[in-house]
C-alpha cells in the first residue's frame, strides 16, 4: 500500500471559481492549428459532429462505420492561490486569456508571446456551471442518445482538475463538479421504469487498477474483445443508481479511498488516476408504429401477438477521467514512496501523450499497450466515443514550462478524430419474459373463465332440476286436492238425491192413502199392485239420474285432469328445451376452450420459432452478414411493436412536472384535505417534489401550499405525511421570503412539536433541515430562539442518527454565523444565545466526530462563537479552547484553519489562558 494518506475531498481553489458567470453556451470553434481536412464533405461532417447535438449525428444498429468527430478541448485557468499571491506579487501572469476570441497567449518574456486557439477558453472567474455546459454537457447529451462519451481533465498538479470534475458541492451547491452535474442530467432524462443506470469507480495506482467502492478488490484485469477490440473490466464493482443522493454517497466513499499526498505544489495531491464509468441502458419506443401487423390464418389479427416486437435498447457509457497531475520532482519535493508514485504517474501520462501524438500524425502504429491508462482510454482517443478534454493551467510564471507542456498537449489532442457510433440492439430477454407473463395470464384467465362457465352450467342444471321437482310436487298436490274435492261433492250429491227420494216416497204414500179412502174396497188389491209398480219406477228413475250426474261429474273431472296433464307436459317440454340449449352452450364453450388451447399452442410454436430466428439473426450479425435475414423477423417485430404500444395505454407515468401542468396546483393542494389517507400521502409527496424545484416554490406559497403543509404538521398523526410535509417545508425554507412566512405562521413552533413527538430518523432529519434553513436568516434569530428553535435542535440529538446530527450541526453553524455577523455590525450585544440555551457542551463533544459533515459544521460554529470576547470565558470552562487549538492545526479545510488561528491570536482572554497553561506545564 502507498504511504500517502487517504483523501476526503478535492483540492481547494479560490472563492473566485465559485462565482456565477452568466454566459450563453456557443459552439466551440476549432483552432487554426487543429482544423479538419479541407474537403467540403469532411468539413461538413466535422461541423456536424462538433455541434454538441447528438441527435443530429446519424447512426445505425447494423454496424455502420460511424461519423467522424474531433476531440474538443477547453482550457481553464486557476486563480492565484495564497502562496502565489505572496511569492509572485511582483511578477505578471505567464498567460493571458482572450475568451471572446477563444485564444490563449503564453508569454516567453516581457516582449514576446505565443498564441494558441482552443474550442473554449475559461477564465479564473468561470463558474462550475459554465465549465460543465461547455465541456461536459454536449457529451452527456450524446450519451443519452446512445453514444459513448469521455470527459477528461489534464494538467499540472494543483491546477484544479479534481475541483473541476469531482467536487461534490455539499456546502455550496454552485461548486458541484462535472461528475455530480452529469449524473443529475442523466437521472432527469431517464425513467427508472424502463431505463437503468449503473456506475463503477476505479483508480489506476502504480499501474494497478483498484476498486474505490470495494477497496479489497485491488487488482482488476483489463479484458479486450478479440473481435471488436472493446475494453472491459469484468472484475469491477457495478452499483445500480436510483437517485442523486445515492450517487453522491458513492462518490464520497470512493474519494475517501483514493490515494493522496502532501507535496510542495499541492497539500492534497492526487497520486492516482480516478476513472468513473457510468453505464446507461435505455429502452427506445415508438420507432416501428407504422409497419403492417401480422395477420392470422382466419384473417383477423390476434391480440395475443401484441408483444412479439422486442424493445430496442440503446447502451452507452460515460467515462469521466480525473488524471493525476504531472509534476517535476525538483519542484514537488517528492521522495521515497512519493517519488515512485510520481514516476509511475509521469510514465502513464507520457504513454498517453505518445498515443495522442501518433493519432494526431496519422501514424500506422499507436502504442496503446504501453500503459494500462492508454488501454482504458483506447475508445476515447481514436475510438468510437465523443470526447471532451479540459486542460487546467496555473498563472504562476515559475511554472511556465509545465503550463506550456499542458497547452501543447491540448493542441495535439485537438487533432485527434474519433468515429462516433450509435449502438442499438433488440432486448430479446425482455420480450421472452413479457410473452411468458402474457401466456401465463391468458392461461389463468382461460382457466378462470372455464371454471366460471362450469359453475354457471352446474347452477343452471341444479336450478332446472329443482324447478322440475317443485312442479311435480305441485302437480301431485293439486291432483290430490281436486280428487278430494270431487269426492266430497259426490257424497253431498248422493245425500241430496236420497233426501229427495225419501220426500217423493213420502208424498206418494200420502196420495195412495187418500185414493184408497175414495175408492171402493173392491179395488184395494189393484191399488196395492199399482203402488208397488210406481215405487219401482221411481227407484229406477232416481238411479238413472244419479248415474247420469256421476257420469257428468266424472267427465268434467277427467277433462280438468287432462288439461292439467297437458299443462305439465308443456312445462316439461320447455324444461327439456332449456336443458338442450344449455348443453349446446356447453358444447360451444368446450369448442372455444379447444380453440384457445390451439391458439396458445400456436403462440408457443411461434415464440420458439422467433427465438430460433433471433439466434440466427444474431449469429448473422456477428459474422458480418447482410441485413436480408432480418426481413421475416422485422415483419413480426413491427406488428408486435404496434400492438404493444396500442395495449400499453398511455405509457409510463407522467413526470411530476407533467402532472403539475395537466392537473393544476390548486387541485393538487385540495387533495391535501382529502379524507382518504392514501390520497393525502400521495398529494403531499407530489407537493414535496414540486417544492424541490425553485421555480415552483413561489407558486406553491401563493396558492396556499405552505399553510396546508403547516396544517398537516399540526393535525396529522400519520408518520409518512409528517415526514414528507416537513421535507417540503424544508425545501420552501431555502427561500428568504418563505422563511419569514413560515415564522409568521408559527412554523417553528409546529416544527418543534413535531421534533418532540417523532421517533423516525428520517422525519427528524427533515425537521432538522427545515430549522437549520431558518437559522440562516439574520432577522429571525431572536424570534426563532424565543419559539424554541434552538432547544428543538438540541432535542433531536437524542436520535443519534448521523444524518440528523449533521442537520443539527448545520443549523447551529448557521445560527452562530448570523450571530457573529450581527455582533460585528453592532446589532447584538451580550453572550451568544446558543451558549445561553446550553448548546456549547454538545458542540465541544461533537468537534471530534468521525462524520465529516458533523465535524465540519461544528468546527465552523466554534470559530464563529470564539470571535467575540464575551463568549470566551464560557468556552474556556467547557474545554472549547483546546478544540480551537486543534482546529487551527489539523482541520482539513484551509479557511476554517485560518479563521481559528486568527481568532486565537486576536482574543486577549484566549492568549492569557494559553500562556497560563504553558507556565503551569
Quickly list DSSP for 369-413.
Answer: GG-HHHHHTTTTSSSSSEEEEEEEE---GGGHHHHHHHHHHHHHH
Q: What is the mean pLDDT of residues 107-128?
A: 88
User: Which domains does the chain show, CATH number per domain?
Assistant: 72-285+310-426 (3.40.850.10)
Distance of CA 442 to the CA centre of its chain: 30
Q: What is the mean pLDDT of residues 435-450?
A: 85
CA end-to-end span of the chain: 40
292: exposed, middle or buried (Cβ count in 10 Å: 0-12, 13-18, 19+) = exposed
**Whole-number pLDDT of residue 15:** 32
Q: What is the pLDDT of residues 673-687, one digit of tens each?
A: 777 777 778 888 888
Q: How long a stretch of residues is the chain?
A: 921
Q: CA 326, CA 264: separation in Å to the nearest integer?
A: 13
**Whole-number pLDDT of residue 615:** 55
Q: CA 518, CA 497: separation in Å to the nearest integer?
A: 32
The three-state DSSP-derived secondary structure of 802-861 is HHHHHHHHHHHHHHHHHHHHHHHCCCCCCCCHHHHCCCHHHHHHHHHCCCHHHHHHHHHH
Ranges 49-58, 116-125, 161-170, 885-894: which has the least confidence: 49-58
Helix or strand or coil: residue 69? strand
- Asked if residue 755 lies in contact with residue 799, where contact means CB atoms within 8 angstroms, the answer is no
Q: CA 345, CA 348: separation in Å to the nearest integer?
A: 5
Query: Which range is most confident: 27-31, 379-383, 531-535?
Result: 379-383
Rounded to 5 degrees, what angle do the CA atoms 429, 433, 438 make? 145
Q: How confident is the model at residue 521 (pLDDT cuts 50, 70, 90)?
A: low
**Whole-number pLDDT of residue 866:** 84
- 473 versus 627: the higher-pLDDT residue is 473
Q: CA 344, CA 353: separation in Å to the nearest integer?
A: 14
> What residues are designated binding site?
155-162
Ranges 53-62, 127-136, 290-299, 482-491: which has the least confidence: 53-62
Q: How confident is the model at residue 409 (pLDDT cuts 50, 70, 90)?
A: very high
Q: What is the pLDDT of residues 818-872, one digit of tens each?
A: 888 888 777 777 888 888 888 888 888 888 887 888 888 888 888 888 888 888 8
Q: What is the mean pLDDT of residues 428-443?
A: 75
**Whole-number pLDDT of residue 659:** 53
Phi and psi torsions of 873, nearest 5°:
-65, -40
**Whole-number pLDDT of residue 529:** 57
Mean pLDDT estimate for the chain: 77
Does the structure show a pLDDT above 70 at 773? yes
Q: CA 547, CA 459: separation in Å to the nearest integer?
A: 53
**Whole-number pLDDT of residue 428:** 60
Q: CA 693, CA 707: separation in Å to the nearest integer?
A: 18
- Asked if residue 162 lies in contact with residue 10, where contact means CB atoms within 8 angstroms, the answer is yes
Closest-CA residue to 30 (of 22, 19, 20, 42): 42
Please name the residues in contact with 885: beta carbons below 8 A apart, sequence gap of 6 or more.
904, 914
Q: How many CB atoms lie within 10 A of CB 652?
A: 13
Q: What is the pLDDT of residues 181-226, one digit of tens each?
A: 999 999 999 988 888 999 999 999 888 899 999 988 888 999 988 8
**Whole-number pLDDT of residue 333:** 55
Q: Categorise residue 838: left if φ over 0, alpha if ψ from -120 to 50, beta otherwise.
A: left
Q: CA 438, CA 357: separation in Å to the nearest integer?
A: 57
Does the structure show a pLDDT above 50 at 40? no
Helix (H) or strand (E) holding 485: helix 428-518
Please name the residues in contact with 453: beta carbons below 8 A apart, sequence gap of 6 or more.
586, 589
Q: CA 481, CA 204: separation in Å to the nearest integer?
A: 108
- Asked if residue 722 lies in contact with residue 763, where contact means CB atoms within 8 angstroms, the answer is yes
> What residues are designated binding site for ATP?
155-162
Provide the β-strand partners of residue 196. 281
Distance of CA 170 to the CA centre of its chain: 22
Using alpha carbons, list the distances in angstroms from residue 739 to 633, 790, 851: 62, 16, 29
pTM tops 0.85, yes or no: no
Q: What is the mean pLDDT of residues 558-578?
A: 82
Q: What is the pLDDT of residues 685-707, one digit of tens each?
A: 888 888 887 778 888 888 888 88
**Matching residue, cell 382466419:** 298
Q: What is the pLDDT of residues 234-273, one digit of tens each?
A: 999 999 998 999 999 999 999 888 876 556 555 566 778 9
Q: How confident is the model at residue 518 (pLDDT cuts 50, 70, 90)?
A: low
Q: CA 833, CA 839: separation in Å to the nearest integer?
A: 9
428: exposed, middle or buried (Cβ count in 10 Å: 0-12, 13-18, 19+) = middle
Q: Which three cell numbers stand for residue 898?
A: 485560518
Q: How confident is the model at residue 142 (pLDDT cuts 50, 70, 90)?
A: very high
Q: What is the mean pLDDT of residues 374-380?
A: 90
- 384 versus 60: the higher-pLDDT residue is 384
Does the structure show a pLDDT above 70 at 459? yes
Closest-CA residue to 527 (of 535, 519, 537, 539): 519
Amino acid at each position: 500500500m502507498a504511504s500517502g494518506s487517504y483523501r476526503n475531498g478535492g483540492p481547494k481553489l479560490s472563492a473566485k471559481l465559485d462565482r456565477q458567470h452568466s454566459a450563453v453556451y456557443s459552439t466551440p470553434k476549432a483552432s487554426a492549428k487543429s482544423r479538419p481536412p479541407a474537403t467540403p464533405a469532411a468539413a461538413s461532417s466535422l461541423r456536424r459532429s462538433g455541434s454538441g447535438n447528438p441527435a443530429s449525428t446519424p447512426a445505425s444498429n447494423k454496424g455502420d462505420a460511424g461519423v467522424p468527430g474531433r476531440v474538443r478541448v477547453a482550457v481553464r485557468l486557476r486563480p492565484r492561490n495564497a502562496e502565489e499571491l505572496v511569492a509572485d506579487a511582483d511578477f505578471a501572469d505567464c498567460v493571458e486569456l482572450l475568451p471572446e476570441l477563444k485564444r490563449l497567449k503564453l508569454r516567453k518574456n516581457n516582449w514576446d508571446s505565443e498564441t494558441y486557439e482552443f474550442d473554449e477558453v475559461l477564465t479564473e472567474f468561470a463558474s462550475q456551471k459554465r465549465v460543465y455546459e461547455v465541456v461536459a454537457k454536449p457529451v452527456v447529451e450524446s450519451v443519452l442518445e446512445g453514444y459513448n462519451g469521455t470527459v477528461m481533465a489534464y494538467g499540472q498538479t494543483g491546477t484544479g482538475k479534481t475541483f473541476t470534475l469531482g467536487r461534490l458541492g455539499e456546502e455550496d451547491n454552485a461548486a458541484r463538479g462535472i461528475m455530480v452535474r452529469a449524473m443529475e442530467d442523466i437521472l432527469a432524462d431517464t425513467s427508472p421504469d424502463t431505463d437503468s443506470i449503473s456506475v463503477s469507480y476505479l483508480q489506476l495506482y502504480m499501474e494497478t487498477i483498484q476498486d474505490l467502492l470495494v477497496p479489497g478488490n485491488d487488482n482488476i484485469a483489463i479484458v479486450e474483445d478479440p473481435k471488436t477490440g472493446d475494453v472491459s473490466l469484468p472484475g469491477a464493482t457495478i452499483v445500480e443508481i436510483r437517485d442523486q443522493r445515492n450517487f453522491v454517497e458513492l462518490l464520497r466513499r470512493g474519494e475517501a479511498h483514493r490515494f493522496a499526498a502532501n507535496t510542495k505544489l499541492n497539500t492534497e495531491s492526487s497520486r492516482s488516476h480516478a476513472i468513473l464509468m457510468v453505464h446507461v441502458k435505455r429502452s427506445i419506443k415508438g420507432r416501428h408504429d407504422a409497419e403492417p401487423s401480422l395477420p392470422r390464418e382466419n384473417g383477423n389479427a390476434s391480440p395475443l401477438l401484441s408483444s412479439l416486437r422486442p424493445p430496442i435498447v440503446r447502451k452507452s457509457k460515460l467515462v469521466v477521467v480525473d488524471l493525476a497531475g504531472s509534476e517535476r520532482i525538483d519542484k514537488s519535493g517528492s521522495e521515497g514512496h512519493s517519488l515512485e508514485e510520481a514516476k509511475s504517474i509521469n510514465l502513464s501520462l507520457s504513454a498517453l501523450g505518445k498515443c495522442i501524438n501518433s493519432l494526431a500524425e496519422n501514424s500506422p502504429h499507436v502504442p496503446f499497450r504501453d500503459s494500462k491508462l492508454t488501454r482504458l482510454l483506447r475508445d476515447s482517443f481514436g475510438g468510437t466515443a465523443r470526447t471532451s478534454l479540459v486542460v487546467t493551467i496555473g498563472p504562476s510564471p515559475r511554472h511556465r514550462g509545465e503550463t506550456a507542456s499542458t497547452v501543447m498537449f491540448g493542441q495535439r489532442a485537438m487533432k485527434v478524430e474519433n468515429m462516433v457510433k450509435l449502438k442499438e440492439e433488440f432486448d430479446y430477454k425482455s420480450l421472452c419474459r413479457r410473452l411468458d407473463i402474457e401466456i401465463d395470464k391468458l392461461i389463468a384467465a382461460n382457466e378462470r373463465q372455464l371454471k366460471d362457465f362450469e359453475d354457471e352450467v352446474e347452477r343452471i342444471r341444479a336450478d332446472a332440476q329443482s324447478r322440475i321437482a317443485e312442479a311435480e310436487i305441485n302437480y301431485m298436490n293439486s291432483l290430490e286436492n281436486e280428487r278430494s274435492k270431487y269426492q266430497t261433492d259426490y257424497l253431498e250429491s248422493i245425500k241430496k238425491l236420497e233426501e229427495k227420494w225419501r220426500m217423493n216416497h213420502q208424498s206418494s204414500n200420502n196420495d195412495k192413502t187418500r185414493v184408497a179412502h175414495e175408492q171402493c174396497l173392491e179395488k184395494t188389491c189393484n191399488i196395492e199392485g199399482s203402488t208397488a209398480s210406481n215405487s219401482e219406477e221411481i227407484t229406477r228413475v232416481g238411479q238413472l239420474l244419479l248415474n247420469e250426474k256421476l257420469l257428468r261429474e266424472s267427465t268434467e273431472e277427467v277433462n280438468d285432469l287432462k288439461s292439467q296433464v297437458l299443462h305439465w307436459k308443456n312445462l316439461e317440454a320447455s324444461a327439456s328445451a332449456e336443458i338442450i340449449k344449455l348443453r349446446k352452450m356447453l358444447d360451444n364453450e368446450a369448442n372455444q376452450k379447444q380453440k384457445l388451447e390451439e391458439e396458445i399452442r400456436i403462440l408457443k410454436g411461434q415464440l420458439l420459432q422467433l427465438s430460433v430466428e433471433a439466434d440466427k439473426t444474431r449469429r448473422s450479425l456477428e459474422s458480418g452478414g447482410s441485413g436480408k435475414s432480418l426481413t421475416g423477423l422485422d415483419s413480426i417485430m413491427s406488428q408486435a411493436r404496434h400492438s404493444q404500444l396500442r395495449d400499453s395505454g398511455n405509457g409510463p407515468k407522467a413526470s411530476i412536472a407533467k402532472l403539475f401542468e395537466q392537473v393544476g396546483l390548486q387541485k393538487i393542494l385540495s387533495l391535501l384535505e382529502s379524507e382518504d389517507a392514501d390520497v393525502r400521502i400521495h398529494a403531499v409527496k407530489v407537493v414535496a417534489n414540486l417544492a424541490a424545484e425553485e421555480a415552483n416554490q413561489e407558486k406553491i406559497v401563493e396558492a396556499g401550499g405552505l399553510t396546508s403543509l403547516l396544517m398537516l404538521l399540526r393535525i396529522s398523526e400519520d408518520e409518512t405525511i409528517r415526514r414528507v410535509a416537513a421535507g417540503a417545508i424544508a425545501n420552501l425554507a431555502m427561500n428568504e421570503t418563505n422563511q419569514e412566512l413560515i415564522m409568521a405562521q408559527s412554523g417553528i413552533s409546529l416544527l418543534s412539536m413535531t421534533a418532540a413527538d417523532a421517533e423516525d430518523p428520517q422525519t427528524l432529519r427533515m425537521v432538522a433541515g427545515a430549522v437549520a434553513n431558518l437559522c440562516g436568516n439574520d432577522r429571525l434569530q431572536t424570534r426563532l430562539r424565543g419559539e424554541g428553535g434552538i432547544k428543538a435542535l438540541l432535542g433531536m440529538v437524542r436520535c443519534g442518527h448521523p444524518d440528523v446530527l449533521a442537520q443539527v450541526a448545520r443549523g447551529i453553524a448557521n445560527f452562530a454565523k448570523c450571530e457573529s455577523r450581527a455582533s460585528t455590525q453592532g446589532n447584538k450585544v451580550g453572550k451568544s444565545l446558543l451558549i445561553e440555551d446550553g448548546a456549547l457542551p454538545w458542540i465541544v463533544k461533537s468537534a471530534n466526530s468521525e462524520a465529516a459533515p458533523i465535524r465540519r459544521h461544528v468546527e465552523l460554529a466554534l470559530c464563529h462563537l470564539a470571535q467575540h470576547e464575551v463568549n470566551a470565558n464560557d468556552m474556556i470552562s467547557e474545554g472549547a479552547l483546546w478544540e480551537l487549538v486543534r482546529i487551527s492545526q489539523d482541520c482539513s479545510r484551509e479557511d476554517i484553519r485560518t479563521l481559528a488561528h486568527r481568532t486565537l491570536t486576536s482574543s486577549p482572554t484566549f492568549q492569557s489562558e494559553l500562556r497560563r497553561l504553558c507556565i503551569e506545564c
